[in-house]
Amino acid sequence: MSGAAADSGVFRSLRVRNYRFYAASNLVSLTGTWMQRIGQDWLVLQLSDDNGVALGLVTALQFGPTLLLSLYGGVLADRYPKRRMLVTTQTLMGLLALLLGVLVATDGIALWHVFVLAGALGSVSAIDAPVRQAFVAELVGPELLPNAVSLNSTIFNGARLVGPAVAGLLIGAASGDTAPAFLVNAASFAFTIGALLCMRPGELHASPPVARARGQLREGLRYAWSRPDLRLAMGLALVLGTFTFNSQVTIALMAREVFDLGAQAFGLLTTCFAVGSLSGALLSSRRTQRPRQRFLVIAAIVFGLFSVACGLMPTYWSFAALLVPTGAAGLVFSVANNSFVQLGVDPQLRGRVMALYFMCFLGGTPLGAPLVGWVSERFGAPWGFVLGGAVAVAAGAGAAACLARGRRVRLEAHVVPPRLQLHVGQRAVPPASVRAVAEAAAGEVPGTRNTS
């Protein structure tokens, strides 16, 4: 690869040795994680007689601890060496996956075991996520951070592409036994731990650690609240994360209830969504600058429209086909929002701000997943998609109204190539007559300055 290609190409962050270790191990580990997610969802449906509320509840238990522990994880990320913390969290998550696999393999599993282990995994993940996000900046530095964030999403969705399909094949080959998926995931964590231990600490772009002091959590909250741009990004993350990013619930219910299909078909649907997500991540990887707020708004609206359309698809194959652009739209929004937050914060506050961001993005899942599950159970699985998409469109429209307040706004639709463009101009200047009245009311004469 030439130097110019390395500087501007899709995979330019892979020039960094430590990041190459991280990316390769992450692909293996995340493939196992997606296998466990498919296996866990399928196991819950088996143990609960296809109960959508139970499926939403186990998802809520896995993401619920984010509300309680994520901010504390952000404080730890700013205070202690991130690589050492990740070794600990990855080890714990591997042991939890191993325990679940053993319980299933020995026929000692009960639904409450799945709930407890999902909650434990969520507790560790709540600490792991902000540390991992802040660690990426230390791996590559600020210049390569937008590309690294996009590549992380590419890896995540590459794993989502492979993991569900492999899990579906394993579960089908084992006549519905989900234990192999959990055991493979437990083994995959060894790759991440090994990669972390093989990194060169001297090549990390580590920010100075924040000394232990009182009020550090409140400091992060005050900082984020004082920034209108961060409030908008986190607000969108909260709403879409709560109601729209629930594909693990909605796709499973569509496969079982609407199309009456098995684990292999479920894995294929999840793979279709992942193909789109992978495409969206690759498209986003060419970005070199912080996204604009209006881009976040348009991405949220487009994702919502595709989600509504998914719920209206009448056949399995039309539903599977539309999952591809839906996944792409969701990932374009997710990557842009993540990059927008990461590139706009003080490095010494990055851990706490990213913890707050993930608390918004994932913390609403304990409410949204059971609600979407209940709506799907009560009115039919397609309405889970329709609800999530409609909420995303409403959130994007509300954010657009906030951005447009006092500004000139123009929405352009282009046919070739198909795209929407939102133009937000400067604040409108009042007509001369209006300015004259305002200046007179303020004690000024038009054309002069009141110097008293």
Determine the Cα–Cα distance for residues 61 and 147; give it in Å rounded to an integer.
32
* pLDDT tens by residue, 106-164: 988 888 899 999 999 989 988 898 888 888 888 988 778 878 877 887 787 778 778 87
User: How far, in Å, are 215, 303, 360, 390, 397 from residue 412 at the CA level?
Assistant: 46, 18, 31, 22, 15
Determine the Cα–Cα distance for residues 173 and 160; give it in Å rounded to an integer.
20
Higher-confidence residue of 406 and 105: namely: 105
Q: What are phi and psi of 412, to 5 degrees?
A: -115, 135
Determine the Cα–Cα distance for residues 360 and 344; give it in Å rounded to an integer.
17
* Distance of alpha carbon 251 from the chain centroid: 17
- Preceding omega of 417 cis (within 30 degrees of 0): yes
pLDDT at 440 over 50: no
What was the pLDDT predicted at 452? Answer: 33
Token digits of residue 368: 């949204």
Q: What are phi and psi of 100, to 5 degrees?
A: -65, -40
Of 77, 64, 161, which is closest to residue 115 (Cα–Cα)? 64
Determine the Cα–Cα distance for residues 420 and 306; give it in Å rounded to an integer.
14
Provide the residue type at 287 as one letter: R
* pLDDT tens by residue, 276-332: 887 887 777 776 677 888 899 999 999 999 999 988 888 888 988 999 999 889 888
* pLDDT tens by residue, 62-81: 777 877 787 788 888 888 88
pTM score: 0.66
- DSSP lists the bridge partners of residue 411 as 422
Q: What's the pLDDT band for 439 if we cut at 50, 70, 90?
A: very low
SS (H, E, C) 45-97: HHHCCCCHHHHHHHHHHHHCHHHHHHHHHHHHHHHCCHHHHHHHHHHHHHHHH
What was the pLDDT predicted at 388? Answer: 86
CB 354 within 8 A of CB 128: no
Q: From the CB of residue 108, how many other CB atoms can be counted at a distance below 10 Å?
A: 9
Determine the Cα–Cα distance for residues 206 and 271; give it in Å rounded to an integer.
36
DSSP, collapsed to helix, strand or coil, labels residue 409 as strand
Mean pLDDT throughout 225-248? 86
Residue keyed to tokens 């580590």: 206
* pLDDT tens by residue, 99-117: 999 999 998 888 889 999 9
Question: Domains in the chain, start-ordered, CATH in brackets?
Answer: 13-206+213-405 (1.20.1250.20), 409-452 (no CATH)
Of 108, 78, 93, 76, which is closest to residue 29 (Cα–Cα)? 93
What was the pLDDT predicted at 438? Answer: 38
Token digits of residue 441: 């009311």
Q: What's the pLDDT band for 266 if we cut at 50, 70, 90?
A: confident
- DSSP lists the bridge partners of residue 414 as 419
> What does the mean pLDDT of the chain come to?
79
The helix or strand, by DSSP H or E, that contains position 259, with its residue range, turns out to be: none
CB 358 within 8 A of CB 138: no
Of 281, 275, 403, which is closest to residue 334 (Cα–Cα)? 281
What was the pLDDT predicted at 374? Answer: 81
Q: What's the pLDDT band for 407 if we cut at 50, 70, 90?
A: low
